[in-house]
Amino acid sequence: MDNIVRDFFISLSQNKTLNQGAKKWGLRLGAQNVVAGTNVDEMIESVKKLNAAGISCTIDNLGEFVFEKEVALKAKEQILAVIESIHTNDLDAHISLKPSQLGLDIDLDFCSENLKEIVKKANEYNIFINFDMEDHARLQASFDLLDELSSTYDNIGTVIQAYFYRAKDDIEKYKNYRLRIVKGAYKEEESVAYQNKHDIDKNYIELIEWHLLNGKFTSIATHDHHVINHVKEFVEKHTIPKDKFEFQMLYGFRVDMQHALVKEGYHFCTYVPFGEDWYGYFMRRLAERPQNLNLLAKQVFNKKTNTLIGVAAAGFLLGRLTKRNK
């Protein structure tokens, strides 16, 4: 059943018509609970509140799979503006970005130049840049860009996706980087990725443990309290200091647990997405872990009536799409 739900939301994330419509709807379909606004000013206010609670942030200017240079250049300028805002407001925050938003699918050199400008500016302010890894078709090119830029700059890290067979080789190669370890959120072929939840979960835990013991700094991205409790026991058993790792969760998910982990003395970072291009991100978060739908529903139903109406509208929309695809 989980695979059916996952495939359903991944197919929704790739629907261009719905993606365009979502930009017109704004965040009225429940996504306002998990996306920190559509512009820099709204996002900065959200980050300030999180920082005040002792939570660090990684900021994602939403957008990906860009095929026009002018769109990629606009994204670059937006990210540069976010870097300036982090510096000006003295925020505890860094940047997460996707190479495909900056021209990976247009021209590799063009993308490299955009990334170089961003990394250089961030380096001047001692701000970390995380390369979010995407689907398998873009994976090696993204690692190649990471290799190219890290030969000059040391303020770069990346993501290891546990569902890929190659993940163990990648984590060993990049052990001296700050790494975020995730399960993976795209639909991949059996030839390159595990399909079974048990296999993915097993590899995920093994990657976390290996990097905690051998790596530079580990960001453990999960909402699963079982994984979190396992990590707590593992680091205590192996006397791994708390400044060698952090837990990460998505903005708007399991907020009480985020604050509880901070109170327990763990480093915590919230992944803060913002922007008009929120739809694909929102759908993949639901695909990535079907339980996220339950978490979102619980939080949404604690909001005001107008949010409930928005969720009802989303349910109606998804229902119509399902019937149309039958």
Q: CB neighbours of 62 closer than 8 A, spacing ≥ 6? A: 35, 273, 274, 275, 276, 277, 278, 280, 281
Q: CB neighbours of 57 closer than 8 A, spacing ≥ 6? A: 47, 50, 51, 91, 92, 93, 94, 269, 270, 271, 272
Write the CATH number of the domain with boundaries 36-277: 3.20.20.220
User: pLDDT-derived band of residue 179, with 50, 70 and 90 as boundaries?
Assistant: very high
* Contact in structure between 248 and 271 (CB atoms under 8 Å): yes
Predicted local confidence at residue 38, as pLDDT: 84
* pLDDT tens-place string over residues 266-293: 999 999 999 877 776 776 666 665 555 5
* pLDDT tens-place string over residues 108-125: 999 999 999 999 999 999
Virtual torsion, Cα 152, 72, 107, 179, nearest 10 deg: 40
> Where exactly are the structural domains of the chain?
36-277
Catalytic residues, which ones?
132, 180
Predicted local confidence at residue 185, as pLDDT: 81
Predicted local confidence at residue 278, as pLDDT: 72
Model's pTM, two decimal places? 0.82
* pLDDT tens-place string over residues 192-240: 999 999 999 999 999 999 999 999 999 999 999 999 999 999 999 999 9
Q: How far apart are CA 59 and CA 44, in angstroms?
A: 10
Q: How far apart are CA 145 and CA 82, in angstroms?
A: 22
% pLDDT > 70, the chain: 76
Mean pLDDT of the chain: 85
Residue type, 140: Q
How far does Cα 296 stand from its chain's mean position? Answer: 16
